[in-house]
Amino acid sequence: MPSIKTNQAANGIVIGSGDTTLLNPTAGRGAVTFASLHEQTGATETIELFISPDATSAAGERLDTIIFAADETLQPASMLLTVPSGFFLIGKATTGGLVESNISFTQYSGSS
């Protein structure tokens, strides 16, 4: 039976210099309804976003490159997307800093 779960959260995930999974819906697709990213190191930071069939950015497609000023919080429209079941939304800081990610999403399972 299809189900819809609203107001799901993936909060407090810190994006560092390695590939970081931000969302990986395993029982249906996940539609991101809100995303906020905050630079935490007090320095300029760049992150790249990918959608990938596995947990690596190398296998994925780059969605966006986001540049942060020190301590800046952004709500990138490029993160408002649907991640198919079994795919990964990946973040990677290119300059090695730390960016905190907070995401709200709707989980769809079955044929909904």
* 86-102 pLDDT tens trace: 999 999 998 877 899 99
Mean pLDDT over residues 39-67, rounded? Answer: 94
Mean pLDDT (the chain, rounded): 91
Structure tokens of 64? Answer: 């966006």
pLDDT tens digit string along 19-35? 999 999 888 899 999 99
DSSP string, 17-77: SS-EEEE--SSSEEEEEEEEEEE-SSS-EEEEEEEESSS-STTSEEEEEEEE-TT-EE--G
Q: Are 61 and 90 in contact (CB under 8 A)?
A: no
Domains along the chain with CATH numbers: 3-109 (2.60.120.340)
Q: Classify the C-alpha dihedral 12-71-98-101 as positive or negative.
A: positive
> What's the pLDDT at 2?
78
Spatial CA neighbour of 21 closest among 45, 70, 44, 54: 54
